[in-house]
A and B are shown apart, each in its own frame.
Chain A
Amino acid sequence: QQQVKQSPQSLIVQKGGISIINCAYENTAFDYFPWYQQFPGKGPALLIAIRPDVSEKKEGRFTISFNKSAKQFSLHIMDSQPGDSATYFCAAAGTYKYIFGTGTRLKVLA
């Protein structure tokens, strides 16, 4: 019940395309869902986050879609750029700790 399942494991997108990463969770007690971007050798950086009372949140080129009934949420990166090439982690927060997905390695081709 504590797992967060993330897919795909890797993703290749052309410059200007849309990158979509999906996550699913089991524990309905989770109440905060952030996405992190991580470059090699660096710590995760918070990109965008959502709470379950909202179905969508947009910040710049990044959008989270949230489906509470399906217990799924996804990250959409619009107009993907080579600089977006990184590993992306979804997470679900419960009882003061985050449970992270296994990560998606995104490569955006120039």
Chain B
Amino acid sequence: DTGVSQNPRHKITKRGQNVTFRCDPISEHNRLYWYRQTLGQGPEFLTYFQNEAQLEKSRLLSDRFSAERPKGSFSTLEIQRTEQGDSAMYLCASSPPGAANTEAFFGQGTRLTVV
């Protein structure tokens, strides 16, 4: 296991369609995060999982967004009824157990384009 894996790398969808992204964290990392990054900006926090529990959600995560981590391993992020404003890079990161705030390792991201 060489790092955080995200699939697909690119997704083009029509407005109004649903999309789902997958993240496989580094083995034994119990913490998993989703971020969104738009062009020219820093990543913005979306949600955080510790094992299978979703402990924090940003107000950026509207009711069209849902994230799961059913068995505390991989995670999925679903966007329903996509809008053009959802076009962004969706990044997943994972951290090992231990101190509350520690190093987070990011995947290569999923680039979403809503047309």
Task: Say if A and B assemble together.
Answer: yes
Q: What are the residues of chain A within 8 A of B108 when measuring CB–CB?
A: 42-43
Residues of chain A from 78 to 110 with CB closer than 8 A to chain B in the complex:
89, 91, 93-103
- Find out whether the CB atom of B41 lies under 8 angstroms from the CB atom of A94: no
- Nearest B residue to A30 via CB reads B101
Listed stretches B12-20, B43-51, B68-76, B80-88; interface member? B43-51
Residues of chain B from 6 to 64 with CB closer than 8 A to chain A in the complex:
6, 31, 33, 35, 40-45, 48, 50, 55-56, 58
- Nearest B residue to A93 via CB reads B101
Tell me what chain A mostly uses at the interface: helix, strand, loop, or mixed.
strand
Listed stretches A14-22, A44-52, A62-70; interface member? A44-52
Alpha-carbon distance A43/B26, docked complex (angstroms)? 15
Alpha-carbon distance A9/B60, docked complex (angstroms)? 24
Q: A43-B91, A44-B91, A95-B56 are in contact. Are A100 and B105 (CB under 8 A)?
A: no
- Find out whether the CB atom of A102 lies under 8 angstroms from the CB atom of B56: no
Q: A43-B106, A44-B106 are in contact. Are A89 and B101 (CB under 8 A)?
A: no
Total residues of chain A contacting the partner, CB 8 A: 25
Alpha-carbon distance A2/B40, docked complex (angstroms)? 19
- Nearest B residue to A34 via CB reads B103
B interface, CB within 8 angstroms of A = 4, 6, 31, 33, 35, 40-45, 48, 50, 55-56, 58, 91, 99-109, 111
A interface, CB within 8 angstroms of B = 6, 31-32, 34, 36, 41-46, 49, 89, 91, 93-103
Instruction: Jot down 16 A-B pairs with beta carbons below 8 A, ordered by A.
Output: A32-B101, A34-B103, A42-B108, A43-B91, A44-B91, A45-B106, A46-B104, A46-B105, A49-B103, A89-B43, A96-B50, A97-B58, A98-B104, A99-B45, A100-B43, A103-B41
